[in-house]
Structure 1
Amino acid sequence: MAYIQASFLQMRDENGKDLGSMATGQAKEYARKRGFELVAVDEKVNPPIYTVKPRQRFVPKSPMDEAKAQYTVTAASVRLKDEEGKSLGVMSTAEAQKLADERGLDLIAVNNRIDPPIAELGNLSKYIYDQKKKAKELDKKNRAAAKASEEKMLKLTSDTTDSSKADRARILKQANDFLVEGHPVKLNIRFRGREISHAEGAMDRLREEIRVGIVDGTVVKETRSTDGGTYTIQCMPRKKK
């Protein structure tokens, strides 16, 4: 409620009936008890004339109301298409709305980024449903594509025991499976403690194992951590012919 400077008000009820002069505080209390608010009718007279009306409650817009507002035409003119997609040319929004009303259809803003915007005749609720469906399908495809090209990380041991060799063969087979599916693969080999001083010699042997083992991809890059303890070998899928 706006600040009221006057000490007294000439009051009317919600039906316009004259309630006489009231102190401003008394008028506010009268409105509050009825769940109303004070509304100015004429503030130029003395005392100013006020009435009461039901207090407006905030009602959040539904998702459908917000969607409808998005496709409402606000420009003075539009490039109009009919319900079959045929161009009807540029016309005033009032003319386009009249044509929509005559056909029992809605006037839908489909592209507000140009001037004049593009609008078409159709069923707005169905159009909104179709747009949401398309957006959902596109999002699903994008997530599937991102997942399909997701980089996979695998760890290799550097031991020379038979069990370690068998473990590396299993991991390299798994790497090939990922590469066939289109995933980039990173192979991590970590050396600890005294192993670091002999890491480069061990890596010569492991590089050969990886070169022979990776048959469905290409080794494109090798990096070494600053402490020298971790090697990372990046493999990319072979390009399909």
Structure 2
Amino acid sequence: MAKAIGVDIGGTGIKAGIVDLEHGTMASERVRVPTPEGASPQDVLNAVQTVLKTLDVEGSDLPLGVAFPAIVKRGKTLSAANVSKEWIGFDAEQFFRTGLGRSIVFVNDADAAGVAEARHGAARDVAGLVLLTTLGTGIGSAFLYDGVLIPNSELGHLNFREFESVERWAATSAREREDLSWEAWAERLQAFYSHIEFLFSPDLFVVGGGVSKNADHFLPLLDLQTPIVPAIHRNNSGIIGAASLAGD
């Protein structure tokens, strides 16, 4: 059985696991540690070392993929949403290769989730344009056309009303921060998804992130022309996608 390790770095937690690449499923328990306050590169690297030690894969030769909440281009992080500004223009892939003493693949977290859902989940064999969004600390997005990833979309940073980034208004963190009911939050999601539906005319929306486990509380409240479904791998999508890309 071909396996790889996936690490998913988020604004609040860092999760990791071993992935069965043939089936796109978890081949180990998922381990998680809180994202260090401030999320500086060195502190995040230390936390990743901790999860790899917990998984008992520190000396393993399994491929390793790391998903991160930033624009990632040729190994460099070009943005920093919900993490330290030190990541902007930072050679993250090389930093992790040196710090972990091994080859890795470094990728945007929502793009990793999109790959997982395209290969092994809700977007598998879907023709045309699939837009995956991850609802969490922010809003991540992935564009997939006929199963091929178009990397580094940032729909969560669309300017919206008085907000510099729509994620400040419509992410899961906004629902929790403002103690919104599912109905009140769904009204915000309706505005967000209607807007991107008009801009891109997708064939399918896939909704990931931890809140996708409660999809029945809010997805039925949305009125869209485009079908919208929860991610099959839910909060494991980033781990599975990062591992899949490393396995390539």
TM-score, normalization by structure 1: 0.23
TM-score, normalization by structure 2: 0.22
Greater relative contact order (Cα < 8 A, sep 6+): 2
More strand per residue: 1 or 2?
Answer: 1
CA radius of gyration, larger in: 1
